Amino acid sequence: MRVYLAGPDVFLPEPLARAAALKAVCARHGLCGVSPLDALAGGDPVSWGGLGEAMRIARRNEAHIAGCAALVANLTPFRGPSADAGTVFELGFMRALGRPVFGWSNSAEPFAARSRAFCRDAAPVDGVWRDEEGMLIEDFPPLADNLMIDGAIAASGGVLVVRGVARGDAWRDLAAFEACVAEVARRLKG
Amino acid sequence: MRVYLAGPDVFLPEPLARAAALKAVCARHGLCGVSPLDALAGGDPVSWGGLGEAMRIARRNEAHIAGCAALVANLTPFRGPSADAGTVFELGFMRALGRPVFGWSNSAEPFAARSRAFCRDAAPVDGVWRDEEGMLIEDFPPLADNLMIDGAIAASGGVLVVRGVARGDAWRDLAAFEACVAEVARRLKG
Contacts of A11 in chain B (CB under 8 A): 135-138
From the list A55, A155, A170, the residue facing B58 with the nearest CB is A155
pLDDT of res. A167: 85
Can the peptide bond before residue B142 be classed as cis, meaning omega within 30 degrees of 0? yes
Q: Which of A148, A149, A150 to mutate against chain B (most B CBs within 10 Å)?
A: A148
Among B142, B168, B189, B134, which Cα is nearest to A55's? B142
Q: Which of A9, A47, A87, A88 to mutate to test the interface with B (most CBs of B within 10 A)?
A: A88
What are B66-95's pLDDT values in tens digits? 999 999 999 999 999 999 999 999 999 999
- A93 and B90 in contact by Cβ < 8 A? no
pLDDT tens string B91-106: 999 999 999 999 999 9
Q: Tell me whether residues B82 and A79 touch, CB distance under 8 A.
A: yes
Burial class (CB in 10 A: 0-12, 13-18, 19+), B110: middle
Interval B107-116 mean pLDDT: 97
In degrees to the nearest 10, what's the CA dihedral of A9, A13, A15, A17? -120
Residue in A129, A130, A115, A110 with CA at minimum distance from that of residue B171 = A130
Give pLDDT, residue A35: 98
Q: Any idea where the domains of chain A sit in the sequence? A: 2-107+144-189
Contact B85 A89 (CB under 8 A): no
Does residue B121 sit at the A interface (CB-CB below 8 Å)? no
SS3 of chain A: helix, strand, coil, percent, to 5: 45, 15, 40
**Can the peptide bond before residue B15 be classed as cis, meaning omega within 30 degrees of 0?**
no
Tell me whether B9 touches chain A (CB under 8 Å): no
Asked if B80 and A84 come within 8 Å (Cβ–Cβ), the reply is no
- Percent helix, percent strand, percent coil in chain B, to nearest 5: 45, 15, 40
User: Where is A167: in which H helix or E strand?
Assistant: none
DSSP string computed for B48-115: GTTS-HHHHHHHHHHHHHHT-SEEEEE----SSSS--HHHHHHHHHHHHTT--EEEEES--S-HHHHH
Q: Which residues sit opposite B59 in a β-bridge? A: none
Cβ–Cβ below 8 Å for B80 and A80 = yes
* pLDDT at B190 (0 to 100): 72
Q: Is it true that domain B2-107+144-189 has CATH number 3.40.50.450?
A: yes
Taking residues B54-72, report their average pLDDT: 98
Shortest alpha-carbon distance between residue A83 and chain B (Å): 7
> Which of A86, A92, A136 comes nearest B90 by C-beta?
A92
Nearest partner of B102 among B176, B160, B28, judged by Cα: B160
Which DSSP string corresponds to A16-54? Answer: HHHHHHHHHHHHHTT-EEE-TTSPPTT-S-GGGTTS-HH
Length of chain B: 190
CA gap A41, B35 in Å, rounded: 40
Between A15-28 and A175-189, two packed helices, what is the crossing angle to 10 degrees? 40
Mean pLDDT over B169-174 rounds to: 97
pLDDT tens for each residue of chain A, 190 residues long: 999 999 999 999 999 999 999 999 999 999 999 999 999 999 999 999 999 999 999 999 999 999 999 999 999 999 999 999 999 999 999 999 999 999 999 999 999 999 999 999 999 999 999 999 999 999 998 999 999 999 999 999 999 999 999 989 999 999 999 999 999 999 998 7
Tens digits of per-residue pLDDT, B112-156? 999 999 999 999 999 999 999 999 999 998 999 999 999 999 999
pLDDT interval class at B46 (50, 70, 90): very high
Helix (H) or strand (E) holding B134, with range, is none
Tally of CB atoms within 10 A around B186: 11
**Cα diameter, chain A:** 58
Q: What is the pLDDT of residue A11?
A: 98
SS3 A5: strand
